[in-house]
């Protein structure tokens, strides 16, 4: 359900989704639809969607690389219309893989950082969590 303008904080959660490409695409489409009712401009909504998709794609591609069965990921978004602020977290229960940028790959984290006001990544033995903040 899209957030209502003027409402208090509205949350959007996809919990324990399979970390696979088809679910990553579905999450991207659902987030874009949910964001359409926010006060963000079309360009900012696109930037947020792309940044979140990069975090989701990293969970799909890297978090469970050393496992025979893919794990899960959770995407949680909280939007406050009164504050004009959005916080999105993407988390998995996989193993952190140190980025090794190449000319064609490894640009996801810099892209997430560039497309949000603030990005942090926390990786522990329990998994990785990416937290991104954006404001109107």
What does DSSP assign to residue 93?
S
What are the structure tokens assigned to 12, written together? Answer: 């959007």
87, 133 Cβ separation under 8 angstroms: yes
Kindly tell me the sign of the dihedral angle through the C-alpha atoms of 20, 23, 27, 29: positive
pLDDT in tens, 5-39: 555 679 999 999 999 999 999 999 999 999 998 99
Closest residue by Cα to residue 2 from 36, 25, 26: 36
- Strand pairing class (118-124; 127-135): antiparallel
pLDDT in tens, 59-117: 998 888 888 888 999 999 999 999 999 999 999 999 887 767 677 777 889 999 999 99
């Amino acid at each position: 359900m899209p957030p209502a303008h003027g409402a208090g904080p509205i949350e959007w959660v996809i919990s324990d989704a399979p970390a696979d490409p088809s679910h990553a695409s579905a999450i991207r489409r659902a987030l874009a639809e949910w964001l359409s009712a926010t006060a963000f401009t079309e360009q900012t909504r696109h930037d947020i969607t792309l940044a979140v998709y990069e975090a989701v794609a990293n969970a799909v591609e890297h978090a469970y690389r050393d496992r025979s069965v893919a794990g899960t990921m959770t995407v949680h978004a909280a939007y406050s219309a009164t504050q004009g602020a959005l916080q999105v977290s993407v988390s998995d229960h996989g193993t952190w893989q140190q980025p090794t940028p190449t000319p064609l790959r490894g640009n996801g984290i810099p892209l997430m950082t560039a497309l949000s006001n603030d990005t942090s990544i926390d990786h522990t033995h329990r998994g990785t969590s990416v937290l991104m903040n954006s404001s109107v």
